[in-house]
Amino acid sequence: MKDTKRNLRNNIWNARYIYLLLLPGVVYLAVFNYAPMYGLLMAFQNFNARLGIWGSEWVGLAHFRRLFITPDSLVAIRNTFIISFSRLVIEFPFPIFLAIMINEMRGRKLKRVYQTIYTFPHFLSWIIVAAIMRNFLANSGAINEVIVLLGGERVNFLANASTFRGILYGSSIWKSAGWSAIIYMAAIAGINPELYEAASVDGAGRIRSIWHVLLPGITPTILVLFILAVGNTMNAGFEQILNMENPAVRHVTEIIDTYVYRITFLATPNFGFSTAVGMFKAIINLLMLLLANFAVKKFSGSGLFS
């Protein structure tokens, strides 16, 4: 036992600089991720700021019951699942396609130009992106002016519930696909070139090389990012939706995060209920993460964690 402790101390001391590098990240997680979990107690209280957490009235699971009987919260939960899973189907594969297309371009300079073009929108805030969308898609925007010039009638894209979700997905792809593709391009760069040469010797063209060499080479990266994306399911894009939505489409765009924002800051606040809604979202995210990891582990033999 003493030898084990001594060896542990020696190992820590020998790797002290590595632990020193980890220290800022550990402190950040402790202060901003773990310490605030103390506030989850409010989900079981009628929280009163004057009385504090330990002095407020305990109500048990009352706020959670309210969550499942309030029509607005049920709409928010439904929209969150619809938008999140639609993002997985529509948005998640796009950076993979983009990374493959950029990788297949001939000429290093051309690749860098396109990578820069597609990456730049990531650095724009959603406030700016929302303004761009309004300028293009509003009733008097550029797109409608072109439609009128061609003899058509104006379409109010931003006030049309049937088109607004498509605008959410499209603008999100435009903003984030280039940035997300960087990870896949890094994975592609790590594939052994001899595999491409072997495929070429066997008579494989570019398409078959992509299918039999490139895609299997980046599959572990795809699976890890897929697990993380599923584990982030209930975060359906708060900043984007808050800046782009309007009352005409709110019934199809109201998600849990925007619902919590409205009941907390735009109405008489009930911090206990808001905390309960946020806690419900976090639990669902955790369950989805574990489910995705289990499914991927069954499919590929390895997951994010064992």
Question: What pLDDT digit, counting tens, does each position of 212-266 carry?
Answer: 888 888 988 998 899 888 888 888 888 999 888 888 888 888 998 898 888 888 7
Beta-bridged to residue 30, according to DSSP, are none
- On whether residue 7 sits in a domain, the answer given is no
Q: Which amino acid is at 110?
A: L
Read off the tokens for 208.
């078959």
Amino acid at 183: I
Residue 115 lies inside a defined structural domain of this protein: yes
Percent of the chain residues topping a pLDDT of 70: 98
Q: Is residue 93 part of a domain?
A: yes
State the pLDDT at residue 235.
84
Position 306 pLDDT exceeds 70: no
- Binned at pLDDT 50, 70 and 90, residue 126 comes out as very high
Domain hosting 273: range is 71-300
Would the pLDDT of 141 be above 90? no
Residue 145 has pLDDT above 90, yes or no: no
> Is residue 62 in a domain?
no
Give tens-digit pLDDT for 165-213. Answer: 889 999 999 999 999 999 999 999 888 888 888 888 878 788 888 888 8
Whether 3 has a pLDDT exceeding 80, the answer reads no
Whose tokens are 């605008």? That residue is: 167
Residue 51 has pLDDT above 80, yes or no: yes
pLDDT-based confidence at residue 1 (cuts at 50, 70, 90): low
Task: Quickly count: other Cβ atoms within 10 Å of residue 276's Cβ.
Answer: 26
How many Å apart are CA 87 and CA 234, to the nearest integer? 11
% of the chain exceeding 90 in pLDDT:
23
Whole-number Å distance between alpha carbons of 173 and 55: 47
Distance between CA 21 and CA 28 in Å, rounded? 12
Phi, psi of 57 (to 5 degrees): -75, 130
The CATH number of the domain holding residue 118 is: 1.10.3720.10
- Alpha carbons 137 and 135: distance in angstroms, whole number: 6
Domain contains 135: yes
Q: What pLDDT does residue 305 have?
A: 66
33 in a structural domain = no
pLDDT of residue 161: 83
Q: How many domains does the chain have?
A: 1
Judge whether 58 lies within some domain.
no
Check residue 47 and give its pLDDT: 84
Cα angle, residue 237 at apex, residues 233 and 239 outer, rounded to 5°: 150
Give dist(CA 134, CA 127) in Å, integer: 11
Residue 272 predicted with pLDDT over 90: no
Residue 38 lies in a domain: no
> Of residues 246 and 300, which shows the higher confidence score?
246
End-to-end CA distance of the chain: 28
Q: What per-residue confidence (pLDDT) applies to 78? A: 92
Q: Mean pLDDT score of the chain, rounded to an integer?
A: 87
Report pLDDT for 205: 81
Selection from 265, 260, 262, 289 nearest residue 277 by Cα: 260
Query: Does the pLDDT value for residue 136 go beyond 90?
Result: no
Whether 73 has a pLDDT exceeding 80, the answer reads yes
Q: How confident is the model at residue 95 (pLDDT cuts 50, 70, 90)?
A: very high
